[in-house]
Structures are given as structure tokens and as C-alpha cells.
Structure 1
Amino acid sequence: MNAEFARLKNDLHTLIEQLEAVDFFKDGEKLLIGCSTSEVMGHHIGRQSSMEVAELIYQSFYQATERHQMHIMFQGCEHINRAVTMERKTAHADGLQPVSVVPHRSAGGSLSEYAFSHFTDPVVVEHAIADRGIDIGQTLIGMHIRHVAVPLRVEQRTINEANVTIAYSRPKLIGGPRAHY
């Protein structure tokens, strides 16, 4: 493994450790990952997709969500309208209708393609609602995060060359000045 992949693996390990330390991973919740493998490797988004990077990222987060019994989903790129790849059972539990598309490197991105080919029974849905999200490389995952999204700051703010933005959701605060929370 070259130095860049060693750094990537270390960054992923550090990020997941920091997220576990703040109890980010929650049993039964849905985690959305959006990622530009091009940005991770220091290139312009969509220009240098990498299945090797996708594999490392998928495996790292898949193992973490398995440990914490979460549902993992992967957002595709703009060429498939940022549709989300997930296991059919996750889509079915939320009443989500699959769409007819198979993500690939040029339309959906390497990570969505990798997830689609490694899930047990994959589907792609147009709209999903995740409880938590990790955006690697500014892929704009906000449209799929449950209201109200709250940013989470951890020390590890990059994965290799890509910026990382993390969010979780909380219930809406309603009722005005007389309400108690």
C-alpha cells in the first residue's frame, strides 16, 4: 500500500474512533455517506474516481455500522440526482420506492457503485431520510438528512485531501417561549 493509501486508511480509522468516542453511531439509525473519491485523492470532484478508495471507505464505514447495528446508505452524484444506494430491507422499512438505475463510476460515483455491487440486495431510491450523515469531499448530502440537522465537530476534519462534514439530527423544538425542552 502506498503512502497516500496508508494516510487514507489512518484518517478513516482516526475519524471512526473519534465518532465512536462521542457516541455518534446509534443502534437502528440510518447513516448516509456521501463521498467524492476524486476529492479524497486531491483531484476535482468527478474527475479521478477510484474504486480502490471506494473500497477502503466502504469497508471502514460498513464495519463501523455493523458494530453499532446501523443501516448504511450511500449517496450518488448529481448525474443520478444524488439518489441513495441502500439495502432493500432498509428501503422497504421506510416505504421507499426503488428507481431504475445502477450507479457506476461516471453516473453515481465509485462509492455508490462499490456499495451497489457489495450489498446483499441493493436498491437505489430517489429520496431518503438519514438520521446521521458524513459528507466527504463536499458532495452535498443535506437533502437526505432528517430535520433538524446539527453539525458535529471532531478533530479529524479531512480524509486524505477531502474536507469532511458530519451531521446528526435532533427533533424540532416547537412551542415558543412557554415550551420546556
Structure 2
Amino acid sequence: MDLNKIEEDVRSVTLELLEAANLKPYEALVVGGSTSEIAGQKLGTATNLEVAKVVVGTIVSILKEHKIYPVIQGCEHINRALVVERAFAEKHNLEPVNVIPVMHAGGGFATVAMETLDDPVVVESAKVSAGIDIGDVFIGMHLKNIGVVVRSEIKTIGEAHLSMIRTRPKLIGGERAKHF
């Protein structure tokens, strides 16, 4: 497994999604992923904190540069709860829950996010404007309506399938209405 290639690909797709999603400062982007899948193993069987540090560290660094809040999804064992900055939780009136993600109950991404974010808290859910899913961990429950798939030339991060999505407002009023 080539961590430099993983970092390079993560950097590329994150920047690509930011451009496609046209996020404004202080919006948020959800990231979910499986380090096991990145390493070519079955989901949840080979959590790798070294891989998580590369992926989460790269994404968080880029998002900070763009003043976008990182929202890092935990695994099913913590109900796909989210590690977020306290400021994001307060801004959106999200109540923190009592859990500390760890490698086998939260997953690598959430565990590393607790160490990487400036003032992390865990919340049950949020509705954000874009997302990166590495390894088919299903981030959709944390997205606003309406999702629009963002395609990349990069199809995998390591061995894990990559999906990206942005959102747009609902179109209402039918064909006679004007939309932006």
C-alpha cells in the first residue's frame, strides 16, 4: 500500500469536489471511509490508523484552508455519528453525544478526527452540502437534499471505491418556473 499515492489521490479528489460543489466558507463536507477497504480488506476487519491519519489529515488540512468544516463519519457501531468541530455543532445547534470513537467502535477515520480537529465533539447527525465516501460506507444520511453525484477520473483510494456528492436546492414550480 502506497501512502504517498493515497495522499496524492485524496488531495486531488478533495480539491475536485470543492470546485464542483462550490462550497462557501463555513459550510461543511462529510467524509466517511473504511481504512480496511483502502487496504484491500473487508469492511471493518483491518482498521489502519496510519492510513486514517493520511486520509483524514489531508482532507482536514485542505478544508481548513478553504474555511470549510470537516464532518467525519464514524462506523456503524456508533450509529455513524459524526466527529465535528465544537463551533460547527454550536452554529447548527447540534447536541453532542457521549461517546469517544476508538479503533473498533468508531473506526479509523473518527478515531483520528478526535486527535486532528481543534475542538472535536461527536454529534448524532447533520445535514451538509457535500461528501466523500471512500469504501461505500454510506454517508447519504448526513447530506442535504438533493444529491448530485460528482464523477472523478480517480475511481479508488487505495483499493476502496470512491464516491463523491454535492447537493443543490430542490427545484420547485415545474417547467414554467425559473431556476438558478
TM-score band, normalised by shorter chain? over 0.9
**Are the aligned partners of 1:34 and 1:139 in contact in 2 as well (CA < 8 Å)?**
yes
* 1:94 equivalent among 83, 92, 96: 92
Note the C-alpha offset of 1:17.
Answer: 4.5
**Are the aligned partners of 1:25 and 1:65 in contact in 2 as well (CA < 8 Å)?**
no
Segment drifting more, 59-68 vs 46-55: 59-68
State the identity %.
39
**Are the aligned partners of 2:17 and 2:150 in contact in 1 as well (CA < 8 Å)?**
no
* 1:122 equivalent among 120, 124, 130: 120
Residue by residue over 1:80-125, the C-alpha shift from the partner in whole angstroms, topping out at 9 and shown as x without a partner, is 0000110111001001111111111111101101101222221111
1:1-150 aligned within 5 A: 4-19=2-17, 22=20, 24-150=22-148
**Are the aligned partners of 1:27 and 1:69 in contact in 2 as well (CA < 8 Å)?**
yes
**Are the aligned partners of 2:53 and 2:112 in contact in 1 as well (CA < 8 Å)?**
yes
Q: Distance in 1 between matches of 2:118 and 2:8?
A: 27
Note the C-alpha offset of 1:25.
Answer: 4.8
1:130/1:23 Cα in 2 relative to 1: closer, same or farther (>3 Å)?
Answer: closer
Letter in 1 for 2:56: Y
1:180/1:127 Cα in 2 relative to 1: closer, same or farther (>3 Å)?
Answer: same
**Are the aligned partners of 1:96 and 1:128 in contact in 2 as well (CA < 8 Å)?**
yes
1:156-175 aligned within 5 A: 156-175=154-173
Q: Distance in 2 between matches of 1:15 and 1:118?
A: 20
Q: Report the aligned-residue RMSD.
A: 1.5
Note the C-alpha offset of 1:178.
Answer: 2.5
How many pairs align? 179
Q: Distance in 1 between matches of 2:156 and 2:22?
A: 17
**TM-score of the superposed pair, with normalisation by structure 2:** 0.93
Q: Distance in 1 between matches of 2:65 and 2:96?
A: 27
**TM-score of the superposed pair, with normalisation by structure 1:** 0.92
1:21/1:85 Cα in 2 relative to 1: closer, same or farther (>3 Å)?
Answer: closer
Note the C-alpha offset of 1:173.
Answer: 0.5
Letter in 1 for 2:91: A
Q: Distance in 1 between matches of 2:131 and 2:18?
A: 14
**Unaligned segments of structure 2, at least 5 residues:** none
**Are the aligned partners of 1:81 and 1:126 in contact in 2 as well (CA < 8 Å)?**
yes
